């Protein structure tokens, strides 16, 4: 797993993460068909509710962006995109307690918790939106708030013949980077997604119902 020394160092490492995702996740497919308007009837304003909560959190601290994105990355790459990284354990043996996850910033967890609370305050949406979807929406929103798009390569990626052409492509075309980033995050969001009766919509993202 990727470890973060500071929020700034993680922001600088984002291009490397995107490059890895773009190059090595091309075979990832969804087990079931996913819908971008799944909550159209049950919680039609879920995106605006999450976005508002994320905006408020972002105004409180810059760490919101890298912390939330890193939380999403760690969640999806371990057991799939099921928000299992949010779960707490009195015995200290939860996914979040693994050594690779101990450095996850609390602001990432707090972003999801506050977004979940905002969604549940709407009577139409209470206990109808999964924590995994809230984490995915929050991650999308922090990326937009950061306004990232320009590729800042590290020296290894730039000098390695296997990645140099991709680095040059991204450096010369912000649009190409934006598309690769969006495609990679979409593919990442499909890893191990629970659908139908496979999971549960938690009332509290930190514990099973």
Between vectors from CA 189 to CA 86 and to CA 127, what angle results, nearest 5°?
Answer: 50
Query: Which residue would you say has higher pLDDT here, 149 or 101?
Result: 101
pLDDT digits (tens, 9 = 90+) for 46-61: 999 999 999 999 999 9
84 known member of a binding site: yes
**Prediction pTM value:** 0.62
Structural domain contains residue 132:
yes
CATH number of the domain bearing residue 56? 1.10.520.10
Least confident among 50-54, 58-62, 192-196, 204-208? 192-196
Query: Which residue would you say has higher pLDDT here, 161 or 108?
Result: 108
75 known member of a binding site: yes
Give the C-alpha separation, 159 to 167, whole Å. 9
Structure tokens at 131: 């924590």
Residue 156: the pLDDT is: 64
Give the C-alpha distances (Å, rounded to integers) separating 13 from 154, 157, 208: 8, 11, 33
Task: Find the mean pLDDT for residues 146-158.
Answer: 55
95 known member of a binding site: yes
Structural domain contains residue 101:
yes
Q: Do the beta carbons of residue 165 and residue 91 sit within 8 Å?
A: no
**Residue in this structure with the two tokens 């971008």, named with its chain if needed:** 36
Virtual torsion, Cα 73, 79, 82, 88, nearest 10 deg: -90
Query: Does the pLDDT value for residue 112 go beyond 80?
Result: yes
Give the C-alpha separation, 62 to 162, whole Å. 34
Residues recognised as catalytic: 74
Structural domain contains residue 70:
yes
User: Confidence class of residue 154 from pLDDT cuts 50, 70 and 90?
Assistant: low
Task: Find the mean pLDDT for residues 68-96.
Answer: 84
Residue 118: the pLDDT is: 97
pLDDT digits (tens, 9 = 90+) for 170-180: 777 878 877 88
Structural domain contains residue 15:
no
78 known member of a binding site: yes
Domain residue limits at 113: 41-148+183-188
Please provide the average confidence, as pLDDT, over all residues in the chain: 77
120 known member of a binding site: no
Total domains in the fold of the chain: 1
Query: Does the pLDDT value for residue 164 go beyond 70?
Result: yes
């Amino acid at each position: 797993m990727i470890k973060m020394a500071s929020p700034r160092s993680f922001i600088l490492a984002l291009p490397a993460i995107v490059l890895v995702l773009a190059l090595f996740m091309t075979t990832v497919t969804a087990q079931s068909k996913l819908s971008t308007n799944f909550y159209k009837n049950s919680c039609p304003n879920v995106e605006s509710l999450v976005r508002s909560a994320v905006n408020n959190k972002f105004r409180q601290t810059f760490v919101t962006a890298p912390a939330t994105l890193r939380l999403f990355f760690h969640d999806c790459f371990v057991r799939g995109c099921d928000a299992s990284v949010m779960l707490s354990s009195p015995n200290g043996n939860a996914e979040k307690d693994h050594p690779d996850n101990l450095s996850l910033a609390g602001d990432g967890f707090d972003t999801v918790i506050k977004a979940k609370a905002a969604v549940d305050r709407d009577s139409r949406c209470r206990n109808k939106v999964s924590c995994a979807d809230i984490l995915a929406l929050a991650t999308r929103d922090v990326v937009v708030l950061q306004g990232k798009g320009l590729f800042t390569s590290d020296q290894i990626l730039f000098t390695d013949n296997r990645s140099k052409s991709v680095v040059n492509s991204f450096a010369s075309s912000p649009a190409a980077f934006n598309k690769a980033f969006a495609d990679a995050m979409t593919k990442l969001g499909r890893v191990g997604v629970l659908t139908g009766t496979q999971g549960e919509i938690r009332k509290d993202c930190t514990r099973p119902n």
